[in-house]
Amino acid sequence: MNHKLLLGTSNPGKIKEFKQILQDIPYELTTLKEASCNIEVIETGKTFLENATLKATQYAHATKLPCISDDSGIEIDALNGRPGIYSARYGGPDLSDSERVELILEEMKNISIEKRQARFKAAIVIAWPNGKILNSEGTMEGIINFSPTGENGFGYDPIFLLPEFGKTSAEINPDEKNKLSHRAKAIRNIIPLL
C-alpha cells in the first residue's frame, strides 16, 4: 500500500496550510512538483466541489497517487456571491492577490458595514487512482473590511474580517486560522475517512 498523499495544488499558501492541518495523518505528504506532475487542470466546474473533484481525479490519474485537492473562494453577498468559483482569477489572470483585493474594495466602496457579509467556502476532495472519491465542504463566515490588514494568510485574507475576533484572517496566527478556516473545517471532516 502506498502511503503517500499528493497535495493537488501549486499555490504556496495552500500547500503550507495543507501541511500544517495534515501533519498528524499517517501519510507522507508530497507536492505536485515533487511528484513531477506538471499537468494543468482546467477548472470547468460550476461549483467548488466540481472543480476540486476535477483536480483531485486528474492528478491522481496522472501520478498514480491518492490526491487531496480543494477549490475554494470567497462569496460576497453585496456582489451577488461574486467572485465565488472565480476568486483566484477575479479581474483577470494577470492580477496579483493584492490587486484582486483592491478590485473588491473598489467595487464595495459605497457599501455600508451592515451589508458587507461574506464567507469563505472550501470543497475538499480526495481521489484515488482506482476511482474512489471522498469529499467534504467547509465555510467560514465574516465581513469584508474597508481596507487590507495583516500579514498572515494569502488571497482575500487581509480584507476578511472575523467579527468575533475583531481581526482579519490575515491578522490571526496560523494556528488559530487552522482551527477556524473553511479549508480546515472541510479537511477535519474528511480526515477520519482516511
CB atoms within 10 A of CB 123: 26
Tell which residue, 176, 121, 171, has the closest CA to residue 145.
171
Catalytic residue among 71, 77, 94, 97: 71
* The three grid cell numbers given for residue 89, joined into one nine-digit string: 482569477
Query: Is 74 in contact with 122 (CB distance < 8 Å)?
Result: no
Active site includes 70? no
What's CA 3's distance to the chain center, in Å?
24
Query: Is 70 in contact with 9 (CB distance < 8 Å)?
Result: yes
Q: What is the DSSP letter of 158?
A: G
| Residues taking part in catalysis | 71
